[in-house]
């Protein structure tokens, strides 16, 4: 198992950040590495909500496993290379009316054997870069767009 965490401060309230992050099917609006996204469930929020995300040639399914409006969102990612057993990504927001600290943590499970642990650490580096790109896109979107709260 490997964890990777990235954090960024965004000028805007947690409600403004959540307005973008909690619009689960619309990640394509702010994540520069996402080419397409859409909901695959009729519900648009809460545990069980699922979206399909296209990143280059890769199609991923992301299913919400935790949902605390305005504070925390976690989802399991399916469709990754078979060397990865599972990935859960968790977003946490904390702040005030003026700024929000946003952290994104991905927990990678590739298995218990040493070669699997190496694979998890390698994949963690890829996810760290992806997380930084997503945080940067979220920051730009919230700070330059009037996000409805």
Task: State the CATH number of the domain containing residue 18.
Answer: 3.30.530.20
pLDDT per residue as tens digits for the range 130-141? 999 999 999 999
pTM for the full model?
A: 0.91
In which domain, by residue range, is 89 found? 2-144
Whether residue 25 contacts residue 43, with contact meaning beta carbons closer than 8 Å, is answered with: no
How many domains is the chain built from? Answer: 1
Query: Looking at the domain assignment, is residue 13 inside a domain?
Result: yes
Q: In what order do the strands lie in the sheet with 2-11?
A: 2-11, 99-109, 86-95, 72-78, 58-68, 50-55, 36-39
Is 149 a member of any domain?
no
> What is the per-residue pLDDT across 35-83, written as a single tens digit (0 to 9) for each?
999 999 999 999 999 999 999 998 999 999 999 999 999 999 999 888 8
How many whole angstroms separate alpha carbon 106 and alpha carbon 128? 8
């Amino acid at each position: 198992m490997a964890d990777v965490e990235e954090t960024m401060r965004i000028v805007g309230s947690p409600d403004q950040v959540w307005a973008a992050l909690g619009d689960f099917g619309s990640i394509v609006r702010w994540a520069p590495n996402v080419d397409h996204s859409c909901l695959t469930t009729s519900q648009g929020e809460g545990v069980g909500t699922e979206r399909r995300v296209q990143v280059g040639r890769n199609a991923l399914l992301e299913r919400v496993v935790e949902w605390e409006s305005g504070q925390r969102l976690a989802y399991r990612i399916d469709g990754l290379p078979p060397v990865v057993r599972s990935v859960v990504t968790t977003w946490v927001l904390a702040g005030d009316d003026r700024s929000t600290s946003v952290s994104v943590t991905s927990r990678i499970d590739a298995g218990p054997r040493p070669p699997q642990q190496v694979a998890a650490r390698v994949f963690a580096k890829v996810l760290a870069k992806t997380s930084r790109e997503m945080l940067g896109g979220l920051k730009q979107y919230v700070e330059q767009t009037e996000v409805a709260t």
